[in-house]
Structure 1
């Protein structure tokens, strides 16, 4: 069964294209109680051997690139994939090679628009491909300008990868040529060739194409692991609460006058009706110093990123001194964490830190950090990064320098820090600023090797000191990090959520959805926090409900768990090559699956803002959009079939009762955004005296379902229950008592 949630600060109109939210009245009923309808049949990839002949890269006659230069080399991969690279006459630490021309093909680029973050861009030729593109998807078909999805469309995927010490990225030029940039990040590490700079694959299903390509790359490289094989973070099924202690407790505030920090959010946690079980202590708990911020002088934006870590322990806001007789000051970080866990029933508490300890790294001369032999380095960005939007954090690091940890002491630093946090009852960490090694790699083996060393040291320490794979990664959207992620299972998937900027609300939703096409195969994409009291709050909440990420409020159940969808939420197939933010006409549709239902969310993201780099683009500020939704918008519906091998499935189950056909389709808890996430099982009650339908699930509230006939009576956990039946819409609702965690509903006919 497909379920749709429509949301916008504007308006939209939907044409229901062969879709009813309920079972079709005349659907063919199969013995197993399933109703088949027309959904896509998926193939993994096509056996189309890629070749370069007469200057054309093609797959069984389908052209991907024309005008391929003679210095381009191709190495066969699987039946439909290959590696592309090129050879130069000169050795260098950075090359830009032309690969061929792209014209009249709809394309989607995922590229870094600033050093930390990616966004999407669509186009029709090579010149539309931005610098620092990390994934490129082309559509090959007869009418590339048509906006309607084509069942016979073929797709070509380009993934710039890590080739030895070279890291690759794609870009286009004004001649519509696709180029690959390969660089080591260290002027002393040079070569004249990069034969396997780009992985290319071909298929008829874009989602399977990306998935299978990542599987091939994982086997080829062995440097990263797929999301489905990683240990899941236990907290990801819990409600999340983020607390920025730097805001709650200013460093210069007198401990005699401050309130204990947990009192600042006690009302929200315990009295607000949202039983959070997971809390992140954000930036503000560490022992730092900042020589660029002088007491009494005006604050200069950016100087905060010059602060450096003095020790691995907490600062004085959490450490009572001999002269402090205030009852508001915790004795230690452990005192604080233990208190909030016991007071508010928290199960997990994480703490924030940067990859290099803090934004400005470690203080080179502090007694608490000297053992890690930090050296002051000034980051140097790639020309590709400099071609896009500047970032104040990186600009500040370039000006003030970063106290970089000696690579030989890296694991020791992480192990000391994490062992100490674990001793303070902290359960894991959120690690920020993870792209930094690419900028300080000179003299340290180059960006690929240095990033890999950071990743391996960090993940080893996490494994040694925390249970449940206790890490969230952030600012880690370069392929150096992605293709070295072996155990880290959750990563922020977009730039920050900016509550005070109305022009970025829609961009945030679209960026995460498109980025999840790439990141979702390796990690669970994290959509970032959002304000629940905000003009766009529901807009963000619905997106996270379909996003399959950590959830915040409207999916939380009485026990603090959440109804998380199964996979990363991604754009529907007909959205892949449209711009749902600035073209003035396209809807943003995001799909996912639950155990027994599909879920589709539809957004009007037009007119609020423009993508970075496209500020001068023309957009239609229409208040109203029209579009259509269909079961075909939801991929992999066959996965939720009780019978393996059934490729065509929309809704279930149905049953014949009293010699007449009773059709039934569960919706779920209708007061929750992801209603179908509450339903775990549905089956027919095979009883000649009391036949009916049995539904198992969890959570309290109102359960809703389609029923072609009115039941005679209903029960919840064997207790007779009140129900309401709308005969006009065949809509059945059953009240589930407050405090119920799991239930079994029986509807008897």
Structure 2
């Protein structure tokens, strides 16, 4: 059921006479009497949200839609919406084609291209938190970017020169509120009804893998994954007392080839990560490695028992904790799509990807380079259902329980002749959703490489679990000469801040890690508080079982926090990667207590000048921060707490193994070395009558 809009628009904002008023007066956007954008051009169109209170006209609007009129019709417009000066903001922007991260600043010039969301900080003088959320309108999609003279520009594009317009009513939504977490939640509830193209996470049931310990084959085998290796990997974990409940067979199981190869070759020489990206899908069935698997039971029964189906059955029969087996595939079938003119596959045509100006400013990425060079074998949108029916029906028949769908944000590069990015995405996401519902219970999917508002607004009607950070890099692919682990800190920050936005659509998945990595405990702690799935990509036989046993139960399940982890309020507008002073603090909730995680992530991240992530070792040193029980947002989550009358809290520090009692506002000081952490379990204390603490 869709949320109640009359309730949504005013929830969490206090009494009516204290509510924030949002308006455009002259050339200024004003919230609660405070200018937040100045010099607003005359072509800007503002429409108060119709989703406020329909019964009490005295209640002011807390949201407005923003559009503009252009001089001429075009497929791409870049238009200033006003100047931002000296107001701290946090934002989420695409630093790669596939992935977003956190960015902060105080002026319009500080924004990055392909910004998906901006929150302006609340002021002590009464300015509320203000959300700027670019939207979809018709066949167009919007993002924010820096303009000249501290303007914030809105970029509106269809992705096809054949799809043009000059007038827009609702390409941006502005929402105001007194709580940054409610601010985003309320706005997404409004979008749920305004767009009608997705469902909120609260309306969906995440897949069962969320509560299972998992093992992924990627870092263990890369493209050389094979049945015997999978078997040995599961056996090693089970023998060590940490049996997986979920196995994810990553890239390497499909039948693929390059265009110049005979169709019988099946990518046999593609064994190094990256070599597979120019390849295309040859058939829906598994490749020779899994097709040639022969069950040991064949000798006992005398009947043929071969292939992926036999392997999955044997695996589950032998290891009874393995409840779910997922496999990887790309949104378009494979990295290079489908190979055209191959019997048994749907019609496809190789399309050369075209990067928009915004994407051209993202970090160079191996996958993008390979894909642009070789093109994508794209199934036409009206036949996308044949693609997913072919893949998923076969997988279901051989015993696979779900899929990780990767390389998702590719369609925007291929849409010139298909009605633009929105129409092409709608067709593919509808076909994918229908297939997931038919074959995998409507929720048996992990979304990956999906960080863009096209996917969030169009692809999450059923999908409810997705990656919220770039890949876990077990080694630094850039070859950091300083020998630090700054990419591991980046990973934490990506996941924590992206969850503020994405957690409204999908349950955040912080990705796998390796239990023997130098930063394994750092990663394990973040997964423990994340509230998401916990899975590893250890090589066969190489495990840190003492660490894993702190996360995994003997039956292959895990104990999760009830909510999903988010940054504490005092971290939202700071830079925990390269300001040399901010510690990443995140919070989560359980049924009867809360958790605070503190992580020293300083040491590197996005560099606007080089347009890439890079080491900033000058900031990698001890950081000291303060925290207290009120860093946890007790009134959020599935079971909100009322702490109004709580006089004291018990805090258990898991690393230092200390138990302390603190008043709600009483701070505890934490000092951490680079890539070190502390987890604090925080529990309200009930003081018995006649007693004191």
Give the TM-score taking structure 2 as reference length: 0.82
Q: Within the alignment, does 1:317 sit opposite 2:289 as a pair?
A: yes
Aligned counterpart for 1:368 among listed residues 341, 344, 347: 344
Q: Which residue of 2 aligns with 1:412?
A: 386
Secondary structure, counterpart of 1:260 in structure 2? helix
CA distance in 1, matches of 2:76, 2:604: 39
Change (3 A) 1:44 1:180: farther
Change (3 A) 1:433 1:100: same
Secondary structure, counterpart of 2:202 in structure 1? helix
Q: How do 1:634-649 and structure 2 match up within 5 A? A: 634-637=632-635, 646=642, 648=644
Q: Is the 8 A contact 2:254 2:281 kept in 1?
A: yes
CA distance in 1, matches of 2:551, 2:645: 26
Q: Which residue of 2 aligns with 1:437?
A: 411
Q: Is the 8 A contact 1:101 1:126 kept in 2?
A: yes
Deviations 1:283-305 (CA, angstroms, capped at 9, x unpaired):
11111112468999999985421
Q: Which residue of 2 aligns with 1:630?
A: 628
CA distance in 2, matches of 1:651, 1:96: 53
CA distance in 1, matches of 2:255, 2:40: 55
Q: Which residue of 2 aligns with 1:421?
A: 395
Q: Within the alignment, does 1:278 sit opposite 2:246 as a pair?
A: yes
CA distance in 1, matches of 2:96, 2:487: 15
Deviations 1:687-742 (CA, angstroms, capped at 9, x unpaired):
xxxxxxxxxxxxxxxx9999999xxxxxxxxxxxxxxxxxxxx9xxxxxxxxxxxx
Change (3 A) 1:354 1:296: closer
CA distance in 2, matches of 1:608, 1:88: 40
CA distance in 2, matches of 1:230, 1:535: 37
Deviations 1:240-270 (CA, angstroms, capped at 9, x unpaired):
111239927738xxxxxx8723343144321
Aligned counterpart for 1:603 among listed residues 588, 599, 604: 599
Q: Which residue of 2 aligns with 1:166?
A: 140
Q: Which residue of 2 aligns with 1:558?
A: 554
CA distance in 2, matches of 1:126, 1:308: 43
CA distance in 2, matches of 1:638, 1:308: 45
Q: Which residue of 2 aligns with 1:693?
A: none
Q: Which residue of 2 aligns with 1:58?
A: 30
Q: Which residue of 2 aligns with 1:588?
A: 584
Q: How do 1:25-64 and structure 2 match up within 5 A? A: 43=13, 47-64=19-36
Q: Which residue of 1 aligns with 2:150?
A: 176
Give 1:614 shift: 6.8
Give 1:619 shift: 6.8
CA distance in 1, matches of 2:189, 2:92: 19
Q: Within the alignment, does 1:107 sit opposite 2:89 as a pair?
A: yes
Give 1:367 shift: 1.1
CA distance in 1, matches of 2:580, 2:12: 31
Aligned counterpart for 2:563 among listed residues 567, 572, 596: 567
Change (3 A) 1:386 1:259: closer
Q: How do 1:311-710 and structure 2 match up within 5 A? A: 311-320=283-292, 331-345=306-320, 346-369=322-345, 372-467=346-441, 469-484=443-458, 485-501=460-476, 502-552=485-535, 553=548, 554-607=550-603, 613=611, 620-621=618-619, 623-637=621-635, 646=642, 648=644, 650=646
Q: Within the alignment, does 1:250 sit opposite 2:224 as a pair?
A: yes
CA distance in 2, matches of 1:558, 1:298: 37
Secondary structure, counterpart of 2:497 in structure 1? helix
Q: Is the 8 A contact 2:486 2:602 kept in 1?
A: no
Give 1:63 shift: 1.5
Q: Is the 8 A contact 1:260 1:330 kept in 2?
A: no
Q: Is the 8 A contact 1:607 1:619 kept in 2?
A: yes
Secondary structure, counterpart of 2:121 in structure 1? strand
Give 1:43 shift: 3.6
Secondary structure, counterpart of 2:224 in structure 1? coil
CA distance in 2, matches of 1:591, 1:645: 14
Give the TM-score taking structure 1 as reference length: 0.76
Q: Is the 8 A contact 1:234 1:468 kept in 2?
A: no
Secondary structure, counterpart of 2:625 in structure 1? strand
Secondary structure, counterpart of 1:541 in structure 2? helix
Q: Which residue of 1 aligns with 2:279?
A: 307
CA distance in 2, matches of 1:298, 1:463: 33
**Higher deviation after alignment, 390-399 or 238-247:** 238-247
Change (3 A) 1:379 1:635: same
Give 1:599 shift: 0.6
Aligned counterpart for 1:121 among listed residues 78, 100, 103: 103
Aligned counterpart for 1:74 among listed residues 32, 37, 46: 46
Q: How do 1:716-727 and structure 2 match up within 5 A? A: none
Q: Is the 8 A contact 2:216 2:247 kept in 1?
A: yes
CA distance in 2, matches of 1:707, 1:262: 47
Give 1:382 shift: 1.0
Give 1:60 shift: 2.6
CA distance in 2, matches of 1:499, 1:300: 15
CA distance in 2, matches of 1:470, 1:274: 23
Q: For CA contacts below 8 A with separation 6 or more, give which structure has more relative contact order.
A: 1
Q: Which residue of 1 aligns with 2:177?
A: 203
Secondary structure, counterpart of 1:449 in structure 2? helix
**Higher deviation after alignment, 239-248 or 576-585:** 239-248
CA distance in 2, matches of 1:593, 1:224: 26
Q: Which residue of 2 aligns with 1:269?
A: 237
Give 1:374 shift: 0.6
CA distance in 2, matches of 1:259, 1:477: 32
Q: Is the 8 A contact 2:382 2:427 kept in 1?
A: no
Q: Is the 8 A contact 1:73 1:195 kept in 2?
A: yes
Larger radius of gyration: 1
Q: Is the 8 A contact 2:31 2:127 kept in 1?
A: no
Give 1:54 shift: 1.7
Change (3 A) 1:585 1:665: closer
Change (3 A) 1:276 1:48: same
Change (3 A) 1:157 1:279: same
Q: Is the 8 A contact 2:222 2:272 kept in 1?
A: no
Q: Which residue of 2 aligns with 1:28?
A: none
Secondary structure, counterpart of 2:197 in structure 1? coil
Secondary structure, counterpart of 1:510 in structure 2? helix
* Structure 2 portions without partners, runs of 5+: 1-10, 53-60, 477-484, 536-547, 660-680, 688-692
Q: Is the 8 A contact 1:638 1:648 kept in 2?
A: no
Q: Which residue of 2 aligns with 1:91?
A: 73
* Structure 1 portions without partners, runs of 5+: 1-40, 144-151, 252-257, 653-663, 676-702, 710-729, 731-749
Alpha carbon RMSD of aligned pairs, Å?
3.4
Q: Is the 8 A contact 1:246 1:284 kept in 2?
A: no
CA distance in 2, matches of 1:286, 1:297: 13
CA distance in 1, matches of 2:311, 2:566: 39
